[in-house]
Amino acid sequence: MKSLSKLAALLIVVTTIYWSFSDIIPSKNYSEKTEKPTDFSINNALYHLKNISKKSHHVGTDEHKVVQDYLVNELKKLGLKPEVQYQTAINTKWRAGTTAENILARIKGSGNGKALMLLSHYDSNPHSSLGASDAGSGIVTILEGVRAFLAQNKTPKNDIIILFSDAEELGLLGAQAFVEKHPWAKDVGLVLNFEARGSGGSSFMLMETNGKNKTLLHEFMKANPNYPAANSLMYDVYKKLPNDTDLTVFREIGDINGFNFAFIDDHFDYHTAQDSYERLNRETLLHQADYLTTTLSYFANSNLTNLKSDEDYIYTNFPISKLISYPFSWVLPMLIIACILFVLLFIIGLKKRKFTIEGTVKGFIPFLISLVIASAVSFGLWKLLVLIHPQYKDILHGFTYNGHQYIATFVFLTLWILFKIYNYFKDQNIEDLLVAPIVFGLLINFVVFKYLQGAGFLIIPVFISLLVLAILVFKNLKQNSKPILFALISIPSIYIISPMIQLFPVALGLKVLFISAIFTVILFGFILPIFYSEKKKSKLQFLMLFFAIYYFISASMNSGYSVDKKLPNSLVYIQNADTNESYWGTYNNNLDAFTQQVFDDNYSSGSVSFAEGKSKYNTRFTFHKKAKNIKLKNSLIPIEKDTIYNNQRHIDFKIEPQRRINKYEFITNSPLNIEKFTVNGILVNNGKPFTNEGTLLIYQMGNTDKDLNISLTIDENEKPNITLNEISYDLLNNTELNIKPRSENMMPMPFVTNDAIISSRKLKL
């Protein structure tokens, strides 16, 4: 009976873990056929996705225009009157600029309140990403969702504005162009933004507001999505990361509230040639569709005039209710109540001789040892794995193709460590052992209250553990009944914490696997009474070790590259037009058949600093090598005005490309005090003076850009020392350089300038 009881308890734990993941994404059993015209059809959405993700379509490419025309025509088929907004935008934060081409359409509502905006971007990342997930998935979700909505033949209360923004990948420039320059921007009351940072997994809801979140959260819950995936900790972490979206522009510049719906799993496909129609997870697309259809139906007819509030709420996924929430102001009172309950239970437990001071102190030993060893092993082992598999360094995302297998390996390894250590303390009462996790949980919640209040829901597992402790103190239950009862009581704790064990390494990279180990130890401590068996060695430790070894072997066998798991590599040709010297550069730590075409011998470690430019992860060239000079047609730079007035020098010059240039980079090599800087008539930094050293401007040439007009005002005594890099993504097409194409198991490395020819020179000003 005892064995059956423990087996039943284990099944409850495993089922709850499965439940916690299945509740936040639709199942695979989706309908292949649309039952009614008013239903969202995944087949229609996939048809559009296949058409717009055939090739890379970043700003300035011919395919970018092809995709734009396709989307305009599809909006016309829906009976709408789309327009294209052409507007130069400069993002001061990212030093980025282009002429964006936003696609807009509007559905007229019956009321005169604020409009609802449906937002996603249609440009792909330069230069090789196919953009199926990021953010073709958002585009087709909106396109098909609007079709199904219009098929209902019901006039919404609010106007619905559709914005397929451009140049998001260059620095949120399309969104900025709309918010700053388009007359419809003042009409928007709420934005629903659909994004991706991978090709699979659950789509998480993240709010953007300059106020508090209470009203937004309650309105989202009223919309009643079927698979909400959200917690307030995620948004706290999101706000601290440099991963802005178009919605950030609406909040920062327009003071407009909104929701991001974004999926982040299978991160290895992000911004790569593998971001394809075939690799987008269909359940993930259905998840985006569920968000769109439920929120569109609700917000198209609700009051969007004022969604701000003066109170923040804690929220998290919860069994049956989907989401639970309560005010931030409850965090401290709940923590105080938990502390009081713990002290009372501890005193009563001492009096009832359920535990002793000595036993409680000893109970901290296995918990603290497990916490230290598990986190240290996870941290150190990942460092060792990177040394064993140096090719992992070339996956700049930080999440390898076998990343999920590593997560499973480390979790089961942590569980084995826990069972192994606790088996040495079988002489301890379970009451003694449960005190340490509860105390640690209380300490964590003190830290949460002080520094990360979004994680305030972590007090819930503490209360549940206090309930278990109270039962142990006040009741003398039969040994057979304890595992099942405690497993049932612990369902909310397991449900809340389990997804977070996977979420952190998926979101932040495998380098934070130690965080998964910490969460695993904490959860194990909270549910320890389920597995605890006095004076009997646990068989579960052998099972945990088996799974750890199994997944480790599986990860090791899948550590290489293939057609479906392509090797990222990079090659750049750099020519210094001033010194007439040329170099090859690569960002790869490990050379392969593609890069060894150039780096076969006589190459040097280190950088070619003047030509690196700015990248997401501040990546530097790892190797460089002298190269032969080829003939490059450099841009003409006529000075149109150079005058001094009131001790200020005013310089107007034009940059006229003589070959197809994709991107210009302006770099100040020493501090430059700039009074005024204008690009194509657009003021940088809102016309305010600023000092710059390093990247001054990265300008991606748009479809309509023929040249670049620069106006610069500086002090008459300033000596500008500016380098101009002219970048074209045509390395593989240059017959003089004769680089052979990649094999089918390779792809261009993302996040860096790649497959490029760079001509660098000092501006003579």
Rounded CA gap, 617 and 611, in Å?
16
Cα–Cα–Cα angle for 172, 173, 177, nearest 5°? 125
H-type alpha helices, 78-194: 138-150, 173-181
404: preceding bond cis by omega (within 30 degrees): no
Same domain, 333 and 312: no
Find the CATH number of the domain harbouring 120: 3.40.630.10
Which residue in 752, 755, 665 sits closest to 125, CA to CA?
Answer: 752
For residue 25, being part of any structural domain is answered with: no
- DSSP annotation of 566 reads P
Which residue in 305, 391, 331 sits closest to 745, CA to CA?
Answer: 391
For residue 520, being part of any structural domain is answered with: yes
Give pLDDT, residue 737: 95
Instruction: Establish how many alpha carbons lie within 13 A of residue 410's alpha carbon, considering only the half-sphere containing its beta carbon.
Output: 33
Instruction: Enumerate the β-bridge partners of residue 642.
Output: 651
Q: What values do phi and psi take at 408, rounded to 5?
A: -60, -45
Same domain, 518 and 654: no
Rounded CA gap, 315 and 319, in Å?
13
Among 318, 344, 375, the domain boundary falls at 318
Same domain, 290 and 351: no
Q: What values do phi and psi take at 98, rounded to 5?
A: -170, 175
Among 289, 318, 347, the domain boundary falls at 318
Cβ-based neighbours of 621, under 8 Å, separated by 6 or more: 572, 585, 586, 587, 606, 607, 608, 612
The ranges of the chain with pLDDT < 50 are 534-535
Written as six digits, the tokens of 631 are 């003939």
Among 268, 287, 318, the domain boundary falls at 318
Cα–Cα–Cα angle for 153, 294, 53, nearest 5°? 90
Which residue in 615, 704, 708 sits closest to 653, CA to CA?
Answer: 708
Are the CB atoms for 714 and 747 separated by under 8 Å?
Answer: no
For residue 738, being part of any structural domain is answered with: yes
Distances (CA, A) of 531 to 222, 428, 526: 39, 14, 11
135: preceding bond cis by omega (within 30 degrees): yes
Give pLDDT, residue 34: 56
Tell me the DSSP string of 206-258. Answer: EEE-SS-SHHHHHHHHHH--SS---BHHHHHHHHHSS---HHHHHHHTT--EE
For residue 40, being part of any structural domain is answered with: no
Same domain, 124 and 222: yes
Pairing of strands 623-627, 188-196: unpaired
For residue 30, being part of any structural domain is answered with: no
How does pLDDT run across 113-143, given as a tens digit for each residue? 999 999 999 999 998 999 999 999 999 999 9
- Domain range for 631: 564-765
Q: What values do phi and psi take at 245, rounded to 5?
A: -125, 175
Same domain, 106 and 223: yes
Give pLDDT, residue 32: 52
Same domain, 735 and 607: yes
Same domain, 444 and 309: no
Same domain, 551 and 605: no
Q: How many domains does the chain have?
A: 3
Same domain, 484 and 575: no
Which residue in 493, 488, 462, 491 sits closest to 477, CA to CA?
Answer: 488
Rounded CA gap, 55 and 63, in Å?
7
Which residue in 117, 268, 295, 138 sits closest to 190, CA to CA?
Answer: 117
Same domain, 619 and 725: yes
Give pLDDT, residue 242: 65
Cβ-based neighbours of 196, under 8 Å, separated by 6 or more: 133, 134, 135, 137, 138, 262, 263, 264, 270
For residue 32, being part of any structural domain is answered with: no
Cα–Cα–Cα angle for 324, 328, 330, nearest 5°? 85
Same domain, 303 and 353: no
Pairing of strands 690-700, 648-655: unpaired
For residue 29, being part of any structural domain is answered with: no
Rounded CA gap, 581 and 285, in Å?
49
Pairing of strands 257-265, 188-196: parallel
Same domain, 552 and 628: no
For residue 31, being part of any structural domain is answered with: no
Helix (H, G, I), strand (E, B) or coil at 102: strand
